[in-house]
Structure 1
């Protein structure tokens, strides 16, 4: 899976690439500032560019998903759950660079160079993790709570959201009721919640206490899917298109808006398996 662990912290490759890119941008700007002797000036503009870019990216995503945030307004501040519009962020970043030009600040060159280095770092992480960001639906079968076998790969032809979870995982417990609710809204996208390593009796008790329907729950007592997809932590939500190809991975708790946006993308891109060229 496209995930990277640093001590107890687990990041998706996409999020880690963004953090690395921003870090490299600020580092290069600071080095340039020290080299040219204009530390405070260049550093201030670099910080403004990052701050405006991030705020713009977040605001763009929130505005594009207002319906989801109306249902959970506090999620606007839960940035760790994901939810940024990169294109809007780039516009915000570019606006700060343009402002520096209009004010005659001699910081355009260091900002551009720092941005190129940061962008290169972002792309390198994408290339390195690229082999792990694509996969297909699991071929193995997993029992549901009644004991009947279910094979995810046999669901090709419809998009699928695969959530790996456990009842001892607080983020899993927090997000599951919301995810089940979203699953009920999208009739053309399947959801499966595959428990990792727990006994059926324990899972059933948990679902009863949480008042969650277990029809979409599968059992993975050997945590085979965590191994197959290289999941470094739970929860992990994997998105597959109608042809059974992995399209995205979200590591950690996911917000309603992020989940809805990802599922909407799968639904909009849905094509019959036979149409693949």
Structure 2
């Protein structure tokens, strides 16, 4: 009896291993892994290029911007930290000339409401460019996982620093901007 049970367990283990290998083989064949060839934007990398429509209907092309520093913020009106940091961006955008520092807010319009965006911008007197990511392509290119996410880019579109989450503090943001400006002199 004991020998028969031992033989059964060996057969069971061998069968389980064989079935597992077959499952891995079949699942690899029928459901091949999807490899995303894009590398997540990181400090020192070139920021993904985009061309989006502004809230005013104009086209903003990242490649054409010649500011020494670009503050690129991904946001949505339904995001409380996003709403909280917008006055900081507005205040700092008025401290610097646009050819020196340009603030751009990329709205996740594919997850937002256009009427809410217009109302928020009007209520908060936002004067820097708001661009609309209508289909989410730019958010996917930047691999945005959380709102807000802010990138600081140098003139050549190299990512100098980034902040995931928020709201960002004016002190931190001003310090980072000044470091980039001083580095480019």
Same fold (TM over 0.5): yes
Residue 263 of structure 1, aligned match among 155, 168, 177: 177
SS at match of 2:179: helix
Q: Which residue does the alignment assign to 2:106?
A: 194
Tell me how far 1:266 sits from its aligned partner.
1.6
SS at match of 2:107: strand
- Asked whether 1:207 is paired with 2:121, we answer yes
1:145-184 aligned at under 5 Å gives the runs 145-156=55-66, 158-184=68-94
Residue 129 of structure 2, aligned match among 201, 204, 216: 216
Q: Structure 2: which 5+ residue stretches go unaligned?
A: 1-38
RMSD: 2.1
Tell me how far 1:223 sits from its aligned partner.
2.4
TM-score between the two structures when normalised by the length of structure 1: 0.47
More strand per residue: 1 or 2?
2
Sort the Cα spacing of 1:215 and 1:200 in 2 relative to 1 into closer, same or farther, 3 A.
farther
Q: Does the 8 Å contact 1:160/1:241 carry over to 2?
A: yes
Q: Which residue does the alignment assign to 1:243?
A: 156
Tell me how far 1:214 sits from its aligned partner.
4.4
Q: Structure 1: which 5+ residue stretches go unaligned?
A: 1-128, 272-277
Q: Does the 8 Å contact 1:199/1:221 carry over to 2?
A: no
Tell me how far 1:217 sits from its aligned partner.
1.0
Structure number with greater Rg is: 2
Tell me how far 1:130 sits from its aligned partner.
9.1
